[in-house]
Every structure is written in structure tokens, then in C-alpha cells.
Amino acid sequence: MKPDKRVLIGIGGGIAAYKICEVVSTLFKSGVEVRTILTNSAQKFVTPLTFSTLSRYPAFTDENFWQPIYSRPLHIELGEWAEVFLIAPLTANTLAKLAHGIADNLLTNTVLASTCPVVLAPAMNTDMWEQQSVQQNWQNILKNHRFHSLQPGSGLLACDRVGAGRMAEPPEIIAYIQSLLHTRGKRDLAGKRVLISAGGTREHFDPVRFIGNPATGKMGLALAQAALHRGANVILVHSPMNADIPIGIETFPVVSAEEMRSAILRNYSNSDVIIMSAAVADVKPREYHYEKLPKRSLPESLALEPVPDIIAELSQRKQPHQLLIGFAAQTGDIITPAWEKLHRKNLDAIVANPVDKPDSGFGSDNNQAVFLDRQGRQLEISPCTKLQLAHYLFDFVDSFSN
């Protein structure tokens, strides 16, 4: 029986090829079976031995393509084996071949012999990337919904040019692969606007001191990535967090609950799915000091006042086509208070997740939860990565909306 997770990676000829070493190593350590194909140009940057060592399986080159070492053609075997196909770095040369159906090496023949989702991660000089012919090829290939794009970012390139053309970083590439292993490439959120709140708000009482919580925004970012990978237009309203946000996600950075409320309301009416995963403060200091208070001047007690209940306000404004989903971070019994919050705030669904379990909740890369909805359904999600949990939630929402 074939393993459940099979990823084929085609490495093109560019200095960014070194980044794919981290991708292969990380995928293998996470239980994914990896096969690699190197073009002739790629071997000038990284050797097949490197990838065979990291993947624990021989790396393939054009030399293997032209030798009858298998009972069936190698490109057919690899194309049928793969569940997800990554091509990175994608060069202008390989892009042109894919856009025009040219198959003159092992990599391009395998693309044509496969039917799985293909992730493309371009990397090239800014002037090359911005050439009209390259952009036409890029737009043409993306018309085929089998191909998924990891847009290049901007920065200092190996040619010392500062501009667009920098390949996506390994964590972003890995996240997209993990998403496609789950969705098999479906874009069930295409045409939808998904509004997500993330992180923990901060309620300052002077420029350096605030009331806050341990939320890091990792769960909200995972939700945004999952929605993006499923084809949605994503708006992320987030408090301060230490994370790189993928290209393609529209962001609104905020600090306080009032700022979060304002940003969410500006984007609420034209959103289809709203997920409030942020840990929003319940109270704030009644008085704000515009200069840092000396330690000797700190009050013995801090007068507090409530902040607006954002999700309750959203439920009052909710339109028939909208889905409003909340989060309930709890300790001890997580189900009872989540049911109560679901009905009291008129939500369509809620995610009850424990924050007192090891390797779960605030700050962790993993999470666990129970999904509840207004129809009385209850689905328990065992510990998994936050990206996996995000996809499970969108699966749950998809079945709920249908």
C-alpha cells in the first residue's frame, strides 16, 4: 500500500535551490515520502547526493530518464506516484516550457505525465521576472487550476538587485504542500472573502505597560494560510505578532481591542466567512498615561472598564449569507462554556480549544479542539498542527454551509 503523503519535488537551476534542502529535510522528518528530480542546471548549484541523503531515496536526473532502469518509463512512474508536485526554484526557462507544453527533460515530461496539484515557486532576477514574456507565461500557466502559485517576494537578490524575484521561504513552501496534501488541490473557497482576527490585543495604561494575554496569532495565521490555499480572498486583522505573513493575504495590523473592532467593521459587510480567533481583551485601564509612569507612581489598584464585545456586535450585523465563527479558549471543561457562548452570541459555529493541555493553545505550533455548531453537531479534533486544525475547520464549515 502506498504511503498517504507523497511529494515529488523538481529543482530548477538557480541559487535558491539551496533552500529546497530545508524543504526536503523538514518534509521527511514530518513523515512525508519525498522524491526529487534535478535538472541539469540545478546540479550546478546542489548535487543529487545532497537530495538523496536528505530524502533517503535516490535523486533523479536526466541521466536516469534516458536509461531503461525501470519496467515502466520513469516519468510515468513518478507522475502517477506523486500526490503533490513542487517545482522550486521555477526558472524562466522551465516556466516557458510548462506554459507551452514542451517536454524535453525528465522534469517537464513528468509534469505532463502527472495529474496531481503542482506548486510553482519562481525565483529569478527582477528584470527577468518583470519581462512581458515571462509574465504572460506565468498568467497563462495559472489559468490551469491544477497549478498553484507561490508568488516571489521582494528583497536583496543574489545578483545584488533589490526587487521582486526572491523565492518563497521554506516555511511558506512547506505550509502550502501540507495544505495540498489535505485538500488534494481543491479550491472550495474560491470567490469567497474570509475575514480572520488573530493574536492577543493589548490594552495600554502607559506607552510601555499593558494588559494582555499569551496569544501569539499562530492559529489565526494558520487559518489565513489555509483559506488562501483553498482559493479565498483573505483579510487578516492581527495584533502584534512575530511571524511572516504570506504574499496574497491582506493585512490590518492593530494593537487594542478598539482598533481591532474598527478594522473588522470596515471589512465585515463584504466578507462571506468571519472567523474570530483573536484573544480579545475583556477590559482595559480606565485611564491612559501618555508618558511612562515611574515605578514609584504606579497605582496600587488599576481602575478598569469593559471593552466593546466585537463578536456580539458582529452577530447583530450578520447578513443571511455570512458565517460567523468564534473561538473559546478554555481550561477544564471546554464544552459547556463553548455551547453557552455559541447560543448567547448567535454564532454559526465555535471552536472550543483547551489552553491548559501540553503542546496546545497559546504559543504552540499544535492545537486540539472541539467544533460545535448551531445544529448541535460536535466534532472532536485530536492534537495536530494548527494548519491541519484550520483545514479541519474549513471542512466542517463547508459541510455546515451545504
Which CATH number covers residue 33? 3.40.50.1950
Neighbours of 245 (CB within 10 A): 19
pLDDT at 7: 98
What's the rounded mean pLDDT across residues 155-173? 87
Asked if pLDDT for residue 1 goes beyond 60, the answer is no
Question: Is the N-terminal amide bond of 337 cis, ω within 30° of 0?
Answer: no
Structural domain of 150: 6-183
Answer yes or no: is 373 within a domain: yes
Shared domain check, 207 and 108: no
Position 398 confidence tier, pLDDT thresholds 50, 70, 90: confident
Outline where 184-256 has alpha helix (H).
Answer: 218-229
Mean pLDDT of 199-212: 94
Q: State how far the Cα of 386 lies from the Cα of 313, in Å rounded to an integer.
A: 27
* 1 within a domain of the structure (yes/no): no
Q: Residue 276 has what pLDDT?
A: 97
Model confidence over 270-295: pLDDT tens digits?
999 999 999 999 999 999 999 999 99
Task: Decide if 271 is inside a domain.
Answer: yes
pLDDT at 70: 65
Instruction: State the Cα–Cα distance between residues 68 and 126, nearest whole angstrom.
Output: 40
**In whole angstroms, how far apart are CA 247 and each of 41, 160, 168, 173?**
28, 22, 9, 12
CB 163 within 8 A of CB 154: yes
Q: Are 84 and 162 in a shared domain? A: yes
Look at residue 191 and give its three-state secondary structure: coil
Residue 168: inside a domain: yes
User: What is d(CA 122, CA 145) in angstroms, rounded to the nearest whole number?
Assistant: 17
Same domain, yes or no, for 162 and 206?
no
Flag whether 169 is in a domain: yes
pLDDT cut 70: percent of the chain above it: 98
How would residue 105 be classed by pLDDT, with cut points 50, 70 and 90?
Answer: very high
pLDDT of residue 2: 45
Residue 402 banded pLDDT, cuts 50, 70, 90: low
**pLDDT over 60 (residue 165):** yes
Q: Is the pLDDT of residue 131 over 90?
A: yes
Mean pLDDT of 65-94: 90
Q: Is-catalytic flag, 159?
A: yes
Question: How does residue 255 score in pLDDT terms, banded at 50, 70 and 90?
Answer: very high
**299/374 same-domain check:** yes
- 126 with 226, same domain: the answer is no
Q: Are residues 132 and 255 in the same domain?
A: no
Domain annotation covers residue 310: yes
CA distance 220 to 326: 12
17 and 141 housed in the same domain = yes
The pLDDT of residue 361 is above 90 = no
115 with 240, same domain? Answer: no
What CATH number is given to the structural domain containing 212?
Answer: 3.40.50.10300
Same domain assignment for residues 28 and 122:
yes
Residue 239: predicted pLDDT: 95
- Which of 138, 157, 183 terminates a domain? The answer is 183
3-state SS string for 11-52: ECCCHHHHHHHHHHHHHHHCCCEEEEEECCCHHHCCCHHHHH
Q: What is the mean pLDDT of residues 328-337?
A: 91
In a domain, 249, yes or no: yes
Domain boundary among 183, 206, 239: 183
Same-domain check for residues 255 and 169? no
Smallest CA-to-CA distance from 260 within 219, 319, 199 is with 199
- What is the residue-averaged pLDDT of the chain? 93
Least confident of 26-30, 116-120, 153-157: 153-157
Asked if residue 359 and residue 215 are part of one domain, the reply reads yes
Q: What's the domain count of the chain?
A: 2
311-331 tens-digit pLDDT = 999 999 999 999 999 999 888
What pLDDT shows up at residue 69? 62
Catalytic residue among 21, 116, 159, 384: 159
Q: What is the DSSP string of 192-206?
A: -EEEEEESB--EEEE
Question: What pLDDT is recorded for position 224?
Answer: 98
pTM: 0.93
**Domain-embedded: residue 188:** no
With the CA atoms of 364, 365, 368 and 370 taken in that order, what torsion angle do they form, in degrees rounded to the nearest 10? 100
For residues 155-191, one letter each, b for 16 or more C-beta atoms within 10 angstroms of the residue's C-beta and e for the rest, the string is eebeeeeebbbbbbbbebbbbbbbbbbbbebeebbee
Selection from 331, 365, 327 nearest residue 349 by Cα: 327
Helix residue ranges per DSSP H, 40-131: 48-55, 62-65, 74-81, 92-99, 106-112, 126-129
- Between the alpha carbon of residue 212 and those of residues 160, 204, 240, 273, 305, the distances in Å are 42, 9, 11, 27, 14
Domain boundary among 153, 183, 213: 183
CA distances from 32 to 5, 172, 178, 180, 181 (A): 5, 16, 9, 13, 10
| Strand pairing class (273-276; 6-11) | unpaired
Same domain, 270 and 397: yes
For residue 154, what pLDDT is reported? 85
In this predicted model, what pLDDT tens digit does every residue of 28-57 receive, in sequence order? 999 999 999 999 999 999 999 999 999 999
Helix, strand, or coil (residue 147): strand
Angle at 190 between CA 185 and CA 196, to 5 degrees: 105
Residues in the chain: 402
